Chain A
Amino acid sequence: MNRKFTWFNATSLTLGFTFLYLPMIILVIFSFNESKLVTVWAGFSTKWYGELLQNDAFLNAAWVTLKVAVLSSTLATILGTLAAYVMVRAGRFRGRTLFSGMIYAPLVMPEVITGLAMLLLFIAIGLDRGVTTIVLAHTTFTMCYVSVVVSSRLVTFDQSLEEAALDLGCTPFDAFKSVTLPIIAPAVISGWLLAFTLSLDDLVIASFAAGPSSTTLPMKIFSSVRLGVSPEINALSTLMISIVTVGVITASLISKRSIAKQRADEQAAVRT
């Protein structure tokens, strides 16, 4: 591979990353702006972060968002792991491709449609919209991400480990709990983090599923911005960017390092 530095490479790299990150960098910089005017720089200050803590509406929305994210990502992890387990382990059966396709389809489904479908369902079954409905909607759309992460780990999992557990007296559930789950745990955790992050920054689906008393943070930001961007919003957005970044980086670190290590251990354990 040619690793030489060329002006062409450097330019394309700079252009690409500028395009991707310039807006966010500006946002982060202006969150530390002294002035109340968003676009005029008047010196460094962290006062907007302080004001943010006084704003009950934002704090409330943050609390709702956190609750929704924890609950929905936990539910999504359980359902997504089970779905992945069945799809990988069930072997070949009629309609297998259809089923696995259906698990992954929501990944590419327009969010508006998912949101609308959820809304119609909640109205049809007469469920009052609130935190519960957002949790349900988020579980639905994040579980397929979990399922993708977990099933990619399960594919490389040596099935004779489960057979050995059965052979030594485990029931199928005990084998899953004491052998499979501990070994695939890093993938499950990284699936949870991914679901948590997705739920945290979702606006569209939450807007459809939310009721009057259950505004999530992205919804709150979106509605406030329509009345004009305040430095407070910048500060809040910066915080959210940090949380999401930490979540995503942790998830990918866990899946990369820990899964690679586990796999190496497992292979070392099965072969010479």
Chain B
Amino acid sequence: MAQPANRPVFAPWNDPNEKPLIQFKNVTKKFGEFTAIDDMTLNIYRKEFFALLGPSGCGKTTLMRMLAGFETPTKGTILLDGVDIAPIPPNKRATNMMFQSYALFPHLSVWENIAFGLKRSDMPKEKIPARVEEMLKLVRLEKFAKRKPHQISGGQRQRVALARSLAKAPKLLLLDEPLGALDKKLRQDTQFELMDIQEKTGTTFVIVTHDQEEAMTVASRVAVMDHGKMIQVDTPDRIYETPNSVYVADFIGDVNIVEGTATPKGDGKVAIAWAEGQPEISASIAEGVAPGTKVHFAIRPEKVAISSDRPEGKANVIEGTVHDIAYLGNISTYKVEVAGGRMIKAQVANDRRIARRDISWDDKVWLSFTDTAGVVLLN
């Protein structure tokens, strides 16, 4: 895609001259009979904020622990800055990790926790206090330097853990579910803080999370994993708008999936027959598809419009009955029953204080969307 020349966009993964910081080359990790990582190849670039996203047990934590040095690959190689890291023990690696449990040393003060790694580095002794102060300032904890970990709040502990892992200025910072223990509001604030710190320090971050919203917020690229395999690696907007599979579409955000049979119409368009006696869904598709192929049509609820009267000039119009309404404050979700008992969700932003009262339970409604609103998925 062409980008305006005056606004540089951070996308080293599109630059063939850029050397990746981390390279996974056909990495497989087995625990006994269980395959945690299955023949994975992946590049992560300098200054990226890279999110590993997936359900628990998908291998994302194993991937991270291999980077930290707590696990070794069964097969394949991992290169950090072009050097195979397999023979390097965790204490000699230029990576640092922020643990899910924070793993702060309970017998040491906040100051000593942050200085812990520095004392074991080649940094001259007299420079350590300045670096610790710098880190405390970065995470805004100057006043808490003397406290022990159990004397500060959860959010503060999380920041101490971050400061401790950043103190040695690692080439790569690994964050294992760093915000899991925080409540929602604090988590959102901290997400922005993390991005800010990542930008300020210019460190490459790899974050493991099962929270898709978190991954979408912080990451430059998101990797969706399942059963030890990368399903899709892309920028958050591309993951959301052009998922490559039903799995990704379903995992990220809310989605309507309609199964059907495709008939190519030329000009990048395809017609999908999805129910007896209903107009076919018209959609765009990038790749060619053979007539009669079974496909999944995925469309986000916010791209489906709902109205009591039949709208004009829309590529797709489907009739249905309102089955359920969920009022969420900023948006309302309508669950509409269409032909064959299928449910399609439509989302409407509540941009006025007086909510739409014209649509109610069991009303006849019209759902409509353009022919570019959804994606046609082959798998």
A residues sitting closer than 8 Å to B (CB atoms) are: 158, 160-161, 163-171, 174, 178-179, 182-183, 262, 264-266, 268-272
A residues near B121, Cβ cutoff 8 Å: 169
Nearest CB in chain B: distance from A60 CB, A: 42
CA A163 – CA B95 in complex, angstroms? 13
Q: Type the 1/0 row for B49-76, where 1 means its CB is closer than 8 Å to any CB of A.
A: 0000000000000000000111000000
Q: Is the CB of B103 within 8 A of A265?
A: no
Q: Is the CB of B149 within 8 A of A269?
A: yes
B residues near A179, Cβ cutoff 8 Å: 105
- The binding surface of chain B is classed by DSSP as loop
Nearest CB in chain A: distance from B167 CB, A: 8
Q: Is the CB of B168 within 8 A of A270?
A: no
CA A265 – CA B104 in complex, angstroms? 11
Q: Is the CB of B150 within 8 A of A167?
A: no
* B345 adjacent to chain A (CB < 8 Å): no
* B47 adjacent to chain A (CB < 8 Å): no
Known: A266-B106, A272-B182; 15 extra A-B contacts, CB below 8 A, are A160-B101, A163-B97, A164-B103, A166-B89, A166-B90, A167-B68, A168-B120, A169-B91, A169-B117, A169-B168, A265-B150, A268-B149, A270-B101, A271-B101, A272-B157
Q: Which of B91, B105, B153, B181 contacts A167 (CB 8 A)?
A: B91
Nearest CB in chain A: distance from B116 CB, A: 5
* B12 adjacent to chain A (CB < 8 Å): no
* B96 adjacent to chain A (CB < 8 Å): yes
* B107 adjacent to chain A (CB < 8 Å): yes
CA A165 – CA B164 in complex, angstroms? 11
* B99 adjacent to chain A (CB < 8 Å): yes
B residues near A161, Cβ cutoff 8 Å: 103, 105
CA A29 – CA B336 in complex, angstroms? 90
Q: Which of A174, A264, A266 contacts B120 (CB 8 A)?
A: A174
Q: Is the CB of B168 within 8 A of A168?
A: yes
Given contacts A163-B103, A183-B106, contact A168 B149 (CB under 8 A): no
* B274 adjacent to chain A (CB < 8 Å): no
Given contacts A166-B91, A168-B117, contact A269 B181 (CB under 8 A): no
A residues near B103, Cβ cutoff 8 Å: 158, 160-161, 163-164, 270
B residues near A168, Cβ cutoff 8 Å: 91, 96, 116-117, 120, 164-165, 168
B residues sitting closer than 8 Å to A (CB atoms) are: 68-70, 89-92, 95-97, 99-107, 116-117, 120-121, 148-150, 153-154, 157, 164-165, 168, 181-182
Q: Which of A160, A171, A266, A268 contacts B99 (CB 8 A)?
A: A160
CA A107 – CA B174 in complex, angstroms? 45
Given contacts A163-B103, A168-B96, contact A269 B157 (CB under 8 A): yes
Q: Which of A167, A266, A269 contacts B90 (CB 8 A)?
A: A167
A residues near B101, Cβ cutoff 8 Å: 158, 160, 270-271
User: Closest residue to B154 on the A side, CB-wise?
Assistant: A272
User: Closest residue to B65 on the A side, CB-wise?
Assistant: A163
Nearest CB in chain B: distance from A115 CB, A: 40
B residues near A264, Cβ cutoff 8 Å: 150
Q: Which of A160, A167, A174, A265 has the largest number of chain B CB atoms within 10 A?
A: A167
User: Closest residue to B157 on the A side, CB-wise?
Assistant: A269
Q: Is the CB of B104 within 8 A of A269?
A: yes
A residues near B89, Cβ cutoff 8 Å: 166
A residues near B157, Cβ cutoff 8 Å: 269, 272
CA A161 – CA B97 in complex, angstroms? 12
Nearest CB in chain B: distance from A161 CB, A: 5
